[in-house]
A and B are shown apart, each in its own frame.
Chain A
């Protein structure tokens, strides 16, 4: 098997490898800026330089040639090589900055060169804390600068498009953003203009950078040159918690990270998953964080007289709900599940009322034909349409649902704004008693007689099945009134959480929403109704589902965590995609 010697250690490899990626795969560290595993290799930052060569072999005997001391002779390449563009070959010898003074010196010089005109505004720069240039300068950089002349100032605060702002003087011309628009999103909107120390990325004069994937360039920009107009100056990375989650704004189920501080989600960034979204996510999905913070239903709401909704206690809400259920025949109850809610939510919701004798829950898909592209935006606007189908909820059209509503005396819905998306109208819901389990205030909650606040994807651990039949799960990222970051070991803790107290002035109690996971609310309702129904964690629910339903066999939270989601045995054509 071909072998390669990196820093004096022998590695065996198979197939084609580039040195940098191979070393990263082995857990070795080589600094770099412009390289990105999903894009072409331009080798223009010159930061991943290594000393490389080849052990000399005798042509006739095939034996390694030895010098006087018995060491193998090395024929070094005449100059240092950029390891990102260096293909491994049998018998190659590589020395990184760890063992080669030359490579270490080259990296130091490259950094000095890059920093010649790069402003040292880390204290105000948005990238501080997650800036490879900052980190690498700290680790590998020179300790001072020999440049005493004034730095070149390139344009600042250029609005490239509706979502991306450029600070050109921070740009180190790695061209990742340009390559992204050329190779990944294929909008070709960015280019590098001018030359030398004046060059920077920008659009053509007549264009705005309105690529639906434009914010990915912000993620991959190694410095603070491209920033998200929305997120600029909102928070420092070390103040935030980073929690793995799933995008709930469309059917693709992009893997994301939720960045929270003081129980507010401040931004959403993509998380790598080769099976689903690679390193990317659409811009519009990033806006979903507002849904988690704003306009939340906090404490139950109840209609007392006429259309006046007012806050109510949980006890009152449970009592009212129970009385309504007791006063009506179970066959008069209509359950409407939701493709916007998780597998666990739909399952427990359906199971609970089935136990009471109510017929199976229905649901209405949220598909807009022609909305999607061939990449990460789908026609399906809901994260869990496949999940509802796999749980055997009854898929209903708008007219079927309208008829069902007109025949029911009690309508119970789960986290879905059916009015806003024109499935039902306000007048449809006038006659029956409407109970909504909801995360946000909307037309549906306005039309409801009783509104039960439930946790959103940022607050619970739950799984969603994307349009390709891949089940993936979320973690709780923000506390509710009833959860505690330090007690819930699944929740991440940031620096502020760990070292702060609840009495710090950055802590805002209002950011905790007064809501419960669906199953926890149903536990309470079951207790009141004397029903045998109790779960302690959504993990338990998934275990039960995997035991009962064949398609979910062997599915567990542990496996989802380990395998970054599990492909369920269903056909991709289950949800129509154009």
Chain B
């Protein structure tokens, strides 16, 4: 891999992040995000870059990066589909959605398509049991109440570069309370 570095713009951003915290150590999480946004992953070289930029021990950055599954420790597809197969999703068809996506993209969970477009991951509960089954796109938007058609549409849209919109899902009670408040 070519020599890695942050641009001046990114360095400025990192300075701003650092300024938010009493110690540099605390900035590790956010700076890892900056790095992952740039490179799409935080492989050991990227962790090294973060450590050098923040002047922290490489071991510390490695420990943080390996603790959180949201940091990708290897190269992933452009879109990472985290399909939840935990209890609620499982009961509502999470595995069907997962296997449908696997068939559709021709890869198994944990793999990346040859064109580097998609990765599929089977993940534990993402805290959206009310609208199961669901998946998350690259640590970002949730796609809820999935059906096979909705999944197909998602793939099509992503191929064309259209990220799904953020869906606001309100709990019935919350809706009531919000109405009362307004």
Q: Which A residues form the contact surface with B (CB < 8 A)?
A: 181, 188-195, 203-207
Contact = CB atoms under 8 A, between A and B. Distances in A.
Interface string B27-59: 000000000000000001001100100000111
Interface stretch (B60-68, B85-93, B159-167): B60-68
A191 B67 CA distance: 11
Nearest to A207: B58
Given A194-B66, A194-B67, A189 B48 contact: no
Given A204-B48, A206-B48, A190 B59 contact: yes
Interface of B: 44, 47-48, 51, 57-63, 66-67
A189 B66 CA distance: 15
A181 B63 CA distance: 14
Given A188-B57, A189-B57, A204 B62 contact: yes
A454 B59 CA distance: 47
Contacts of B60: 188, 191
B6 to A, nearest CB: 18
Interface pairs A-B: 8 shortest CB-CB: A188-B57, A191-B63, A204-B58, A205-B44, A191-B59, A193-B66, A204-B62, A204-B59
Contacts of B57: 188-189, 191, 204
B4 to A, nearest CB: 13
A204 B58 CA distance: 6
Contacts of B51: 204
10 contacts: A188-B59, A190-B59, A191-B57, A191-B63, A204-B44, A204-B47, A204-B51, A204-B57, A204-B62, A205-B47
A207 B59 contact: yes
Nearest to B63: A191
A383 B150 CA distance: 77
Contacts of A190: 59
Contacts of A181: 59
A189 B59 contact: yes
A87 B1 CA distance: 52
Chain A contact surface mostly: loop
Nearest to A209: B59
Nearest to B44: A205
A204 B61 contact: yes
Nearest to B66: A193
Given A204-B57, A204-B58, A206-B58, A192 B44 contact: no
A181 B58 CA distance: 13
A203 B58 CA distance: 8
Nearest to B48: A206
A98 B152 CA distance: 64
Given A194-B66, A204-B44, A204-B57, 9 more contacts: A188-B59, A188-B60, A189-B57, A191-B63, A194-B67, A195-B67, A205-B47, A205-B62, A206-B58
Nearest to B57: A188
**Residue among A181, A189, A205 facing the most chain B CB atoms (10 A cut-off):** A205
A188 B51 CA distance: 12
A207 B62 CA distance: 11
B15 to A, nearest CB: 23
Contacts of B61: 204
Nearest to A190: B59
A206 B67 CA distance: 18
Nearest to A182: B57
B95 to A, nearest CB: 22
Contacts of A204: 44, 47-48, 51, 57-59, 61-62
B55 to A, nearest CB: 11
Contacts of A195: 66-67
Contacts of B48: 204, 206
Nearest to B62: A204
Contacts of A191: 57, 59-60, 62-63
A355 to B, nearest CB: 60
Contacts of A193: 62-63, 66-67
A203 B66 contact: no
Contacts of A188: 57, 59-60
A559 B67 CA distance: 52
A229 B153 CA distance: 57
**Residue among B51, B60, B62 facing the most chain A CB atoms (10 A cut-off):** B62
**Residue among B51, B57, B59 facing the most chain A CB atoms (10 A cut-off):** B59
A44 B67 CA distance: 17
A531 B44 CA distance: 73
B63 A192 contact: yes
A190 B57 CA distance: 9
Nearest to B68: A195
Contacts of A192: 63
B176 to A, nearest CB: 36
Contacts of B62: 191, 193, 203-205
Nearest to A188: B57
A347 B44 CA distance: 58
**Residue among B57, B60, B61 facing the most chain A CB atoms (10 A cut-off):** B57
A9 B44 CA distance: 55
A199 B159 CA distance: 37
A205 B74 CA distance: 13
A181 to B, nearest CB: 8
B152 to A, nearest CB: 35
Nearest to A195: B67
A189 B57 CA distance: 7
Nearest to A187: B57
Nearest to B45: A206
A204 B62 CA distance: 6
A203 B59 contact: yes
Nearest to B69: A195
A206 to B, nearest CB: 6
**Residue among B47, B60, B66, B67 facing the most chain A CB atoms (10 A cut-off):** B66
A56 B43 CA distance: 57
A296 B67 CA distance: 51
B50 to A, nearest CB: 11
Nearest to B65: A193
A195 B64 CA distance: 10
Contacts of B47: 204-205
B64 to A, nearest CB: 8
